[in-house]
Amino acid sequence: MQRLSAYAFAAFIGFAGIYAGASAAADPHLTPDTSATLERISADSLRGHLSFIASDLLEGRGTPSRGQDLAAEYIAAQFRRAGLEAVGDDGYFQTANWTFAETNLKDFSFRIDAGKEHLNIPANQLSFSLPHALALAPSAIVNIDAGNAAALGAHSSATLAGKVVVSDLPDFKSMPPEQAKVAYLGWQAYNAQLAKLRPALLLIVDRKQPKGNAGGNGRLIDPENSGETVATVPRITLHSAQAIQALDALRAGGGERVSVSVNVAAPVERAVKLRNVIGVLRGSDPELKNTYVMVTAHYDHLGIKDGVIHNGANDDGSGTVSVMEIAGALAGMKQRPARSIVFMTVFGEELGLFGSRYYGRHPILPIRQTVANVNLEQVGRTDSSEGPQLNNASMTGFDFSDVGTIFRKAGKLTGINVYKNEANSDFYFARSDNQALADQGVPAHTLCVAFEYPDYHAPGDHWQKVDYANMAKVNRMVALGVLMIANDPVAPKWNTANPLTRPYVEAWRRQSSQ
């Protein structure tokens, strides 16, 4: 099939109609070179990449796993094919030498007793964060409302010694955004305070089975910051609705007579090499080429759970292949953008944003010269739980900086409505890989088509369910937005009028003063 001309391509994606009758060709951002670049982004190419990245061969790309290593090699090969500059410590790889502590389920037992009533809970209904072996004889439970600061204040290390604290995980998703943020900070403070009181175990009741269940039978240990991954208080999370219902019945009927006994062997530790994959498209301006716009996604998923592969096509295979596709398209431009563009896929998001946090602590390119980051998360499926999301993309923290305004303009030129999702924008800002760079002061946001969708964190998240035509359109919008930032001599800035940006503004000022 013949390639479309730049003018035909502009008509194809509806520039003229979207731009209120104005000629798209008149827009300075849509040069013939740029239009030809956007044309190179192909639904078929995205389908081809994702059918491999989300195939059973890669076994769900768990962190760590052979499947994840295969994915990293594939991504690096695509960066090499595009001619990106390799800037890692090992070619296109930034390597973290960590330890993986796998939960040892040999001779495992977990039992709840209430008088003559007993409840044995299998390991596949639990997830674990245990720094060591745990052997608890029947230990009394103490019910504490994590959302009530006074409830924990009534206890001391003496009253909780040898006890099992039982707390519900707050249902952040059902709360209004501001309430959810307060509740999330409260939950973190609760855990920090509980760590000082050192009960025998924290049993978390997860009634919504949220993202925290991912990879629940092991933990990563960062030798530089082990406190980030090892809980001072051993924690076990209960996810099964049936088991939670039974536990509630025992708690209601047994009161103080309810006890928990646990036996978990010491974790089995092994050294692992975890890799971010990174390449750079060097800019053309003598000065601005030493500043950077970052395009990121996480290439890990849940791996194999209960013997079933979770392929994670949308989460976040879609973001991963978008990074590759956009890199290939922009690398073919006749006129390179003024700033350099960094393309990176990171490990360990599902376990706690580990790959992006590692880069934040060990930046390959200077943070103070990194002007913006757009992170791509779940951009393939349009069957959102909030309704169809055709031609829509939401940006987290939309009004935290002027990055949102830039991408909204790019969306108008490419037929994508870039908007603030009032229910999710602020809440999810801190729950994806943009957070690591935002913490360093970089205006960083995540773009998402569907925050929640059928098969989210389930085995059915397959590549065949992705809307590739819409995904290609979203990719064109992202590519254009990145070019707008890369060619603008004025870097994006945080919105200092928004009180939620205060820590990021302060981090940016610290970076600027160095």
Same domain, 296 and 436: yes
pLDDT higher at 425 or 292: 292
Same domain, 263 and 275: no
Same domain, 330 and 440: yes
Answer with the one of 242, 269, 296 that is the final residue of a domain: 269
Q: Which domain holds residue 293?
A: 6-98+271-513
Which H or E run includes 355? helix 354-361
How is residue 133 written in tokens? 């072996």
CATH code assigned at 248: 3.50.30.30
Same domain, 139 and 74: no
Same domain, 45 and 126: no
Same domain, 356 and 379: yes
pLDDT at 177: 65
d(CA 435, CA 443): 10
Same domain, 136 and 68: no
d(CA 332, CA 336): 9
Answer with the one of 230, 253, 269 that is the final residue of a domain: 269
Q: Is residue 1 part of a domain?
A: no
Q: Is residue 215 part of a domain?
A: yes
For the segment 228-244, the average pLDDT, to the nearest whole number, is: 76
Which amino acid, one-letter code, is at 137?
Answer: A
Q: Is residue 375 part of a domain?
A: yes
The phi, psi pair for 152, rounded to 5°, reads -75, -30
Same domain, 241 and 265: yes
pLDDT at 124: 84
Write down the pTM of the prediction.
0.85
Number of structural domains (the chain) is 2
3-state SS assignment for residue 248: helix
Same domain, 369 and 477: yes
Selection from 213, 514, 471, 226 nearest residue 351 by Cα: 213
pLDDT at 378: 98
Note whether 504 and 441 are within 8 A (CB).
Answer: yes
Q: Is residue 437 part of a domain?
A: yes
Q: Is residue 69 part of a domain?
A: yes
Give residue-wise pLDDT tens across range 299-308: 999 999 878 9
Answer with the one of 205, 238, 269 that is the final residue of a domain: 269
Give residue-wise pLDDT tens across range 63-91: 999 999 999 999 999 999 999 999 999 99
Give residue-wise pLDDT tens across range 156-181: 999 999 999 999 998 887 777 667 77
Q: Is residue 51 part of a domain?
A: yes
Note whether 311 and 60 are within 8 A (CB).
Answer: yes
The number of C-alpha atoms within 13 Å of 287 and in the hemisphere containing its C-beta is 3
